[in-house]
Amino acid sequence: MTLPVPIFELKNVTKQFSNLPSLIDINLEIYPGECVALVGSSGAGKSTLLSLLNGTLQPTQGEVWVLGRNLTRLNSQQMRQVQRHIGTIYQQFHLVDNLQVIHNVNAGHLGRWSFLKAVVSLLYPIEVETAAKALRQVGIVEKLYERTDSLSGGQQQRVAIARTLVQNPIAILADEPISNLDPERSREIMNLLRQLSQESGKTLVTSLHAWEYARSYFHRIIGLRDGRVLFDAPVDEVSSVMVENLYRI
Ligand SMILES: Nc1ncnc2c1ncn2[C@@H]1O[C@H](COP(=O)(O)OP(=O)(O)O)[C@@H](O)[C@H]1O
Ligand SMILES: [Mg+2]
């Protein structure tokens, strides 16, 4: 039996910004449909790792393979083609506040639309049905024409998720998607992300600093500490000692 090609593969990856490396000799493979949590304290390297997976950062050493392509070997056009299939959701939502929700959702098309189409879409909303469908999936279709900054934090994160759905990526990366939300909203967003990835078979990689959420929502946990993988295990094999070691000061 041949194994499927990993969606993401890191081979001996080190990332160094200045003197101290932020990630050290990381090796991991993430396969189609997996739901993986990256956990660790602030500064552990979670965001850096996600930025390597979506090609925003390049490794200092080693290789990052995404969808069977070695990112370090790609020219900018090939890189954009790969990046189109990877949707990223951020802690700060990364929405344009003073635009209507529909425009922020339609930004998910930008990797495919021509510049002209993108400009026209700002003057006359197009692809309304696609945007409405994505907003319906995240439960806020009635907000289509609202100004984005009139929405609550939880609703804005739903807009960011709808934008990713419009992009229709193969994998979703979420960088601490709930760290600006209250516990109730956090549970709603985690349920939504898990449900969306399970329904469509999309690979989901989410960084979280809180172990409690990782334990409740993910099958596989990668524990990062000081730039190294401390453990990479199914959730029911992660012991309380492993978690203590992850967060110990
Ligand atoms: N652009 C950058 N320039 C310099 N150092 C950085 C940069 N991004 C991250 N770092 C450093 O890399 C380490 C890991 O950061 P980060 O990946 O943001 O951790 P986490 O997301 O787990 O909080 C930290 O020590 C941080 O200061
Ligand atoms: Mg971070």
With respect to residue 142, please indicate whether it lies within any of the assigned structural domains: yes
CA angle (64, 66, 71) in 5-degree steps? 50
**What is the distance of C-alpha 27 from the center of its chain?**
19
Residue 249 has pLDDT above 70, yes or no: yes
Residue 212 lies in a domain: no
Q: Is the CB of 76 under 6 A from ligand 1?
A: no
- The answer to whether residue 187 is domain-embedded is no
For residue 11, count CB atoms less than 10 angstroms from its CB and return exposed for 0-12, middle for 13-18, buried for 19 or more.
Answer: middle
Do the beta carbons of residue 136 and residue 165 sit within 8 Å? no
140 belongs to a structural domain: yes
| Res 237: pLDDT | 98
What does the alpha-carbon distance between residue 76 and residue 61 come to, in Å, rounded to a whole number?
Answer: 20
Is pLDDT of 185 > 80?
A: yes
Domain-embedded: residue 9: no
Q: Is the CB of 57 inside a 6 Å radius of any atom of ligand 1?
A: no
How far is the C-alpha of 227 from the C-alpha of 20, rounded, in Å?
10
Q: Is residue 180 part of a domain?
A: no
pLDDT score for 109: 84
Query: Residue 159 — pLDDT band, cuts 50, 70, 90?
Result: very high
Quote the strand ranges of 33-167, DSSP E.
35-39, 61-66, 69-70, 86-90
Q: Does 230 map to a domain? A: no
Range of the domain at 111: 96-168
pLDDT tens for each residue of 97-133: 999 999 999 988 877 777 677 767 777 777 889 999 9
- Whole-structure pTM value: 0.92
Ligand 1 atom nearest the C-alpha of 41 is: 22
How many domains does the chain divide into? 1
Q: Would you say the CB of residue 17 lies under 6 angstroms from ligand 1?
A: yes
Binding site membership of 22 for ligand 1 (Cβ less than 6 Å): yes
Q: What are 216-237's pLDDT values in tens digits?
A: 999 999 999 999 999 999 999 9
Please identify, by atom number, the ligand 1 atom nearest to the C-alpha of residue 209.
22
Contact status, residue 138 vs residue 146, Cβ threshold 8 Å: no
Q: 46 C-alpha vs ligand 1 centroid, how far in Å?
A: 8
Residue 7 covered by a domain:
no
CB of 220 sitting under 6 A from ligand 1 = no
